[in-house]
Structure 1
């Protein structure tokens, strides 16, 4: 496993550490290797549909890019509530039409939700969202961090 220290630092500043989440991630990564899952047998299930996301940071903002292929703009919703940014939506499956038969379905369909805890140094009211070619791009503006000040306290 390759770790890029700078990238890892940036991601860690965006998400609060939750030990249970790490345990769930390890479980999820390993359970996908079990061949008894329907998706491994050629059947896609809705619980497998989770869009891939990249999170980066500049001096002025955090940038979140989510891959949402074949999801229509009107089927995507982005909300920010109490420091948590949530992306949810749905990729709808093609309906069988007369004369059209599906022999194999490997792509995932259905509803999805991704949530991210925002750091304290962002302005939740200044989230810029754009959507083009199946990519959702979010830019979250940073605020000035409170800088600690040094004061001398008079002892009486």
Structure 2
């Protein structure tokens, strides 16, 4: 038995396993699995949303590049803020006389719902949209402090 074999009893097995996982068919399958878990729904029209808690309010930001203000709908339902983005794409093909020969329409709608820990007063919510960034500020509700009665 060589000196190397004594120190690495599973050396040959590990080498075989490494070769197996780096060969084309297995490597492609593993890469596909990695890609799936990075983006499980590649054709979904989702968008990034972030929630931050500040002293006086909650700030929700959504990245919406290429979206017009008219395509955004905000709803407040109990303690949820719902952001909906609607996209209608129309593609037309014209002939040499500028007559439409083919017209296609596609409609996409994406929705993200952000829960907050308290009921939201929709009259106090402020939203702005600039350069593809939607910012929603939801004031924190101040509860009523209750004093404790007792003999102590």
Q: Do both share a fold (TM > 0.5)? A: yes
> Into which bin does the TM-score normalised by the smaller protein fall?
0.5 to 0.7
Instruction: Give 1 or 2: higher strand fraction.
Output: 2
In the alignment, the residues of structure 1 paired with residue 114 and residue 63 of structure 2 have an alpha-carbon distance, to the nearest angstrom, of 15
In the alignment, the residues of structure 2 paired with residue 125 and residue 138 of structure 1 have an alpha-carbon distance, to the nearest angstrom, of 13
Q: In the alignment, is residue 63 of structure 1 matched against residue 59 of structure 2?
A: yes
Number of residues paired by the alignment?
106
Normalising by structure 1, report the TM-score: 0.56
Shift of 1:54: 1.1
CA separation of 1:147/1:130 partners in 2, compared to 1, >3 Å: closer, same or farther? same
Normalising by structure 2, report the TM-score: 0.57
The structure with higher relative contact order (CA 8 Å, sep 6+) is 1
Instruction: Give 1 or 2: higher helix fraction.
Output: 2
RMSD: 3.0
CA separation of 1:73/1:54 partners in 2, compared to 1, >3 Å: closer, same or farther? same
Q: In the alignment, is residue 73 of structure 1 matched against residue 69 of structure 2?
A: yes
Question: Any runs of at least 4 consecutive aligned residues in structure 1 with deviations exceeding 6 A, and if so which?
Answer: none
For the pair shown, which has the larger CA radius of gyration, 1 or 2? 2
Structure 2's unaligned 5+ residue stretches are 1-32, 95-106
